Each structure stands twice: as structure tokens, then as C-alpha cells.
Structure 1
Amino acid sequence: MRKLLYLTFSMALIAALTTYAMWAADRPAGHYLSDLRINLTVDQGTPANRGNLLGIQPELFPTDYQSPDRLHRKLAAYLQKAQLQGLLNDKTIVVLPEHIGTWLMVSGEKDELYQANTIEEAMNWLAVSNPVQFLRALISARGDNRLDDAHLRMKAKGMARDYQALFGGLAKEFHVTLVAGSIVLPEPTVIDGTLKVGHGALYNSSIVFGSDGLPIGQPQRQMHPTFSRQDVIEANDGQSLTVVDTPAGRLGVLIGRDSWYPENYRRLDAQGAQLVAVPAFVNGRGTWERPWRGYRGSSAPEVASLKPGDVSEGQAWHRLTLTAQPPGSQAIAGMSVFLRGQFWDQGSAGQSFLSRDGQHFASEEARGAHLLNLWL
């Protein structure tokens, strides 16, 4: 009797594990419907032979990340619209928003993940659907929030591969220089033209791709991560800011809140930066109009011009982002581009803007995907 019970239990366990393995391996491709429209909401300057800064503020949702091909289809549609409007040339620098690459972590997943009601539920599906990858990542996770670290780390190699193939491919396809927003990866580096990941801390990093599809220089790592992510994403204290050469001039990249610190512009000035791109993200629907909450977890600059509550979040971004505002920055122009959309219960805010001669130009439209163009 005992042997029979043991045999029955063993067979049931094997059947359960087999069923789970088959379920976890199954990745059905659901129907894909997404709005590919985008409007040119800001167009400043006169076309010349000096190129232009072109910001793409996309409107993205989890289903856009079901595969890299789907995300490519949407972003390529945006660029095709810009091309039809005469906004792309060999000297164009396209700027994409912060974390546009980070959500590649949910690529190739099961329908249950995309249909989840909350981001917590979605991350649970991510772990359950990839048990081996998740457990390996959890073992090597760092910091106080090991669960979130594991979620971001578990598919890092594939994310790095897809990020370069997607955004390097778009740069080559449309013959532009492309600031590929940002992506969270463990110790990212470029080796022999290929983006690689390490085993250490997670960094929010941005890469600039040339029109040949290859990275220009090394990833720029963020120095002042968003307060809510500081227990997962490492602040880049040891690496200096770098400037890269593009057909339109020398370009510096400041990720998100890095653009709030005057010292960063002085570092870019010292390297002859003529243009500044700011990939950005503001979490929470309606946050743009609410009172600014200060530097939150990061040390304030030596001379802080604002105090929490003095202005709205949007006004703070305009005041603190010093692109093309002498003497704060000697660059001739700059652009801040925000990620918009809805990722489960996590909304977004932020209205992209461009800067030139101390003036900011922003779209007044809050919804939909936007193009912002500045002729140099």
C-alpha cells in the first residue's frame, strides 16, 4: 500500500512538473493592436545644413513589448512619419526617452503578464513563467530589494542583445544618430562594438548609436537614479560624463534627474559639448502638475535654486534643466524627452521640451505620441 501511494504521488508530481514546464515554455502570440499615429507638436528653427534634434515622445503599453519586432514596428512608424515630413537627414539626432529599453524585460512573455491589472501581478507572472532564470537572478541579486533586482537582472543578456539590435537597427535603417533612451542592465559595457552585461550592480544607462548601427563610445550611466529605484539601481559615482562626436556636433547625454545638476553641464562644457540630450521619465499620472517634491534621496547641488513645493514638477524640470541657458550651459541647444503611456497600474507624466537661447518650447498637448523638432 505504501509503495502504491508513493508511486501515485511520484507520478502526480511528475505530471504536475511536466504540465508546468510545458505551460512555462509556451509563448502564444496574441493579437496586436496599437496606435501608430504621432503628431508634430513643436517645430522650431529653419532647415539648413547643420542638422536637427528630433525628439520622439512615444505612447507605449505592455503589449508593445510583446516582441522586439512589435516595438520596432511602432517606433519605425514614428520615424517614417518624421521622414515624410522632411525631418530626417544624415545630421539628424533622434532622442528617445528614459527606460524605453528597460521594458524589454517583459518581451516574449505569456498573455497573462500583459493582461495583468497591476505591475506587481505582472512581475509575479514574469517570475513564474521563467523559474530557472528568476532563481538564478535571485541568487545573484544585490541590495535591499532583491526581488526587484532579480526581475530586472534575470533577462539581462537578452535585453542587451535586443536593445542593440532594435535601436542600432533603427539608426541604421533611417541613417540617423540615435540616443536610445535608457535601459537598466548589470554593469553594461561596449566591447568590440557589442553591448555586453556583467554580474555586478544594476545601472540605468544610455547608448548613442551611429548611422552605421554601432554604439558610439561607452554607455552613459545615470548618476542620480529616481528616489523610488535607489534601492535597486546603483548611482554612477565613479564614471565621468562623456561627450561623443556626431555629424551635427558634439553631444552630451544626461539621464533624467542628472539634468538638474549645474556641475554636470560644466563637465560637458569642458569637453566642448554643443548639444545636450535628456532622456527622462516621470512616474505617476498627473504628477507633472503637482508640487515638486525636491531632490528626494539625492544630495542637492551646492547652490539649490528651488525648494520642495515652490513650483510644480513640470516647472521644476524647466527651471532645473539648463540646456542652452548661459551661463548654466554653453551648449547651443538641448532637448528633454519623456516616456509616456500606461504600464499596468503605473501611469506616466512629463511633457517633452526643447531649449535654445535660454528659451524652452514645449507641446501643450498632454496625450498621444509627439514629435518635437529643432533645426540647428
Structure 2
Amino acid sequence: MRKLLSGALALVLLAALGGYLIWAEQRPEGHYLSDLRIELALSEGIPSGQGNLLGIEPLLYPGDYQNLTRLHRKLAAYLEQARVQGLVNERTVVILPEHIGTWLWARGEKKEMYQVTHLREARQWLELSNPLRYGLAMVAAQGDDRRADAHLRMKAGQMAADYQQLFGGLAKEFGVTLVAGSIVLPEPYLDHGILRAGSGALYNSSLVFAGDGSVLGQPQRQQYPDGSTRRFIEPGTAYPPQVLDTPAGRLGVLVGSDAWYPSNYQQLAGQHAQIIANPAFVDGKGAWAGPWRGNRHQPLAADLSLKPGEVSEDQAWYRLSSDGVPAGIASMSVFLRGQFWEVRGEGLGFANLNGLHLASAGHGARLLNLWL
């Protein structure tokens, strides 16, 4: 009798486990309507044949990341509207915001994950739906926030492939140089022109794609991570800023708060940079108009011309990004907008040219254009 009960219990457990694994693999999609409107919030200069910087600040939500088709449709619609306005040509450098690729960890999950209201609930759905991958990622996780590390590490291979397919494809489709915001991956590297994820520490990196969809240069890693991301993102100081040749001129990329540090501009100027792209992200409702939080976790921040709380967040970005730009170099900062559960993107992009600060205003998705 005891053997019979033990056997029956084992069968029940096996059936439950099998049912759970089948459930975990299912990915039904729900209906989703997306707003494809975008406004031209900033346009300065006149066409001179030298090209232009075109910043795109998309309004994105978790549902946009359920599959690549949705995300491509939205970003391509923004670019098409810019093209209709005469802002896209073979010398255009398109700049997308920081972490636009990082949220690719949410691609291809259960519809329930996109419907919850809190990030912790979304992460729970991610873990429940990917038990084996999450468990293996936790074993390899590093940093002070191992759970956040594991969430990115477990899907790193898929994220790298999606990032290159999506943004390299957009660059080729519209024939532009495209600064593809940033993505957090473990030890990113190129293998014969293909972006791969390694097995080491996580880095916040940006890739630049040429008009034929190929990769220009190497992944540009963020030098000085700030905010909560520093708990699982490694500083990229071993990989200094690089300058790339584009049809619009020599391009440097500074990711996020790297735009605050004069030493980064000096390194780019030393390589004869002519334009600087700054993909950025500011999180928190009201944060853009609130007190500047600084980057107190980086020793180099002690040498900045501003102290935390001295000015508002927007004024700090304007001053630090403007003060560091050498004469004759055009720059543009582009921020991610929208809401990812309770994480809210708040920044408003701006540009600098010949010492003149050009701020933008407006709501929703935005285009920023600067003729060179």
C-alpha cells in the first residue's frame, strides 16, 4: 500500500512538473494599440549638405517590447515621419536614447507580464516563465544586485541578436548612420561583425550602425555608471571613448552621465571628433525638474563643477554637457521617454553648437534636429 501511494504521489508530481514546464513555454500574445505620433520639438540651422543630427525620443511602454515587429513598427514610423519632413538623408546621424536596447529583456514573454503595474511583479513573471534560464543565470550572477544581473544575463544572447537585427535593420532601411542608444550585456564583443554576449561583468554599451546595416567600431561602454545601475553594471574605463568616421563627420558617443565629465570630451577632441552623440535616461516622476542627484558613487564626480542638490536635474545636464563640449563640436543629448511599469523616463533632449545651448520642449514622442 505504501509503495502504491508513493508511486501515485510521484506520478502526480511528475504531471505537475510537466504541466508547469509546458505552461512556462507558452507565449500567447494579446492585442496592443500603439501611438505612432511624434512632434518636431527642436529644429535648428539650415541644410548645407554637411548632414544633420536627428534625435528620436520615442514614447515606449512594455507592450512595445512584446515582439520585435511592434518595436520596429513604432521606430520606423518615427523615422518615416522625419523623412517626410526632409530630415533624413545619407549624411544623417540618428541618435536613440540610453537603455532602448536594455528593455529587450522583456521581449517574448507571457502577456500577463505586460499587464502588471509594478516592476517587481514583472520580474516575478519573468522568473516563473523561465525557470531553468533564471536558475543558471543566478549561479553566474555578479555585482551587488545579483537578481537584476540574472534578469539581464539570462536573456543576453537573445537581446544581443535582437538589438543588432532591429537597429542595424533600421539603419539599412533608412540609409542613415544610427547610434543605437544602449543595451546592458555581459562582456559584449563583436565576432566578425556580429554582436555577442560574453560571460563576464555587465556593461552598458552602445553600438553605431552604418547606412548598410554594418557595425562601426567596437561597443562603446559607459565609463561611469550612475544611479541604481551601478549595483550591477561595471564601469567601462578600460575601454575609453572612440571616434568613428561617418558621412557627417567624425563621431564620438558618450553614454548617459559620461557626458558630465570633461576628461571624456578631451579624449574625443584628441581624436578629432566633430560631433558627439549622448544617449541618456533620467528615471523618476518629476525627476527632470527636481534636484540634481549627482553621481556620488564615482570618485571623479568630486571634481565636477556642480554639487548634488545645487541645481535642478535639467539645469545640471545643460551645464555639464555644455561646459565640456569643445568649440566647433556639435553635440546632442537624447532621452528615453515613456513608462516601464513604475519606471518613468523624464528627460527632454537638447543640443549644443558653437557654445550655444539649444533646449527643447514638448510632450509625448519627440524629434530633435540639428543641421551641421
TM range (shorter): over 0.9
**Match for residue 364 of structure 2?**
368
What do the CA deviations read for 1:65-116 (whole angstroms, capped 9, x no partner)? 0011110000000000001111000000000000000000010000111111
Aligned-partner residue type, residue 48 of structure 2: A
Contact 2:223 2:240 (8 Å CA) reproduced: no
Please tell me whether residue 339 in structure 1 is matched to residue 319 in structure 2: no
- Taking the aligned partners of 1:167 and 1:273, their CA distance within structure 2 comes to 23
Contact 1:190 1:217 (8 Å CA) reproduced: no
Alignment of 1:60-209 (within 5 A): 60-209=60-209
SS of aligned partner of 1:208: strand
Alignment of 1:238-257 (within 5 A): 238-257=238-257
**Match for residue 44 of structure 1?**
44
**Match for residue 57 of structure 2?**
57
Alignment of 1:28-43 (within 5 A): 28-43=28-43
TM superposition score normalised by structure 2: 0.98
**Match for residue 291 of structure 1?**
291
SS of aligned partner of 2:293: coil
- Taking the aligned partners of 2:210 and 2:41, their CA distance within structure 1 comes to 26
Same amino acid, percent of matched pairs = 58
Contact 2:325 2:331 (8 Å CA) reproduced: no
Contact 2:171 2:210 (8 Å CA) reproduced: yes
Distance change in 2, residues 1:149/1:166 (3 Å): same
**Match for residue 269 of structure 2?**
269
Runs (4+) of structure 1 exceeding 6 A deviation are none
Please tell me whether residue 349 in structure 1 is matched to residue 356 in structure 2: no
Aligned-partner residue type, residue 274 of structure 1: Q
Shift of residue 152, structure 1, vs aligned partner: 0.8
Contact 1:172 1:212 (8 Å CA) reproduced: yes
Shift of residue 5, structure 1, vs aligned partner: 1.3
Distance change in 2, residues 1:255/1:177 (3 Å): same
Contact 2:261 2:304 (8 Å CA) reproduced: no
- Taking the aligned partners of 2:308 and 2:227, their CA distance within structure 1 comes to 14
SS of aligned partner of 2:340: coil
Shift of residue 303, structure 1, vs aligned partner: 4.1
SS of aligned partner of 2:214: coil
- Taking the aligned partners of 1:67 and 1:350, their CA distance within structure 2 comes to 26
What do the CA deviations read for 1:301-342 (whole angstroms, capped 9, x no partner)? 5742112221100000000013xx5x7424521100000111
Contact 2:295 2:301 (8 Å CA) reproduced: no
SS of aligned partner of 1:113: helix
Aligned-partner residue type, residue 199 of structure 2: H
- Taking the aligned partners of 1:92 and 1:204, their CA distance within structure 2 comes to 25
Two-structure CA RMSD over aligned residues (Å): 1.2
Distance change in 2, residues 1:316/1:140 (3 Å): same
Contact 1:256 1:281 (8 Å CA) reproduced: yes
**Match for residue 16 of structure 1?**
16
Aligned-partner residue type, residue 185 of structure 1: L
Unaligned residue ranges in structure 2 (runs of 5+): none
Shift of residue 147, structure 1, vs aligned partner: 0.8
Q: How many pairs were matched up?
A: 372
Aligned-partner residue type, residue 197 of structure 2: V
SS of aligned partner of 1:219: strand
Distance change in 2, residues 1:328/1:210 (3 Å): closer
What do the CA deviations read for 1:239-260 (whole angstroms, capped 9, x no partner)? 1110000000000000010000
Contact 2:32 2:63 (8 Å CA) reproduced: yes
Unaligned residue ranges in structure 1 (runs of 5+): none
- Taking the aligned partners of 2:341 and 2:302, their CA distance within structure 1 comes to 38
What do the CA deviations read for 1:117-162 (whole angstroms, capped 9, x no partner)? 2111101111110111111111111122211110010010010000
- Taking the aligned partners of 2:341 and 2:16, their CA distance within structure 1 comes to 30
**Match for residue 259 of structure 1?**
259
Shift of residue 294, structure 1, vs aligned partner: 2.1
- Taking the aligned partners of 2:199 and 2:367, their CA distance within structure 1 comes to 37
- Taking the aligned partners of 2:325 and 2:37, their CA distance within structure 1 comes to 36
Contact 1:334 1:355 (8 Å CA) reproduced: yes
- Taking the aligned partners of 2:208 and 2:355, their CA distance within structure 1 comes to 25
Contact 2:327 2:354 (8 Å CA) reproduced: no
Contact 2:226 2:295 (8 Å CA) reproduced: no
